[in-house]
Amino acid sequence: MTWVQLRSRRDPAVWVPLLVVLLIACGLAFAGQQWLDEWQRAFDARAEQDPESAIAEAVQLLRLCEVSLLVVSAGMGAFLFRFFQLGLREARIPPSGWWSLGAWRARVGPPAEWISRIGLFAALALPVSAIAIVWLLERLVRSLLQGQPAG
Averaged pLDDT score across all residues of the chain? 91
**pLDDT for res 97:** 87
DSSP state string for 106-124: EEESHHHHHHHHHHHHHHH
- Mean per-residue pLDDT for 80-94? 95
pLDDT of residue 1: 56
Kindly tell me if the per-residue pLDDT of 90 is higher than 60: yes
Alpha helices in 1-151 (DSSP H): 12-49, 51-90, 110-146
Instruction: Please compute the mean of the pLDDT values over residues 136-141 and round it to a whole number.
Output: 92
Q: Would you state the pLDDT for residue 75?
A: 96
Could you give the maximum distance between any two Cα atoms of the chain, in Å? Answer: 69
pLDDT in tens, 27-77: 999 999 999 999 899 999 988 999 888 888 889 989 999 999 999 999 999
Parse the chain into domains and list their residue ranges: 13-49, 51-151
Query: β-pairing, 92-93 with 3-5?
Result: unpaired
Compute the distance between CA of residue 149 and CA of residue 140 in angstroms, rounded to an integer.
8
Other beta carbons less than 10 A from residue 107's beta carbon: 20
User: Residues with Cβ < 8 Å from 63, sequence gap 6 or more?
Assistant: 138, 141
**CB proximity list for 72: less than 8 A, separation 6 or greater:** 130
CB under 8 Å to 107, separation ≥6 — which residues?
Answer: 2, 3, 92, 93, 115
**Predicted local confidence at residue 104, as pLDDT:** 85
Q: 81: closest CA among 42, 118, 28?
A: 118
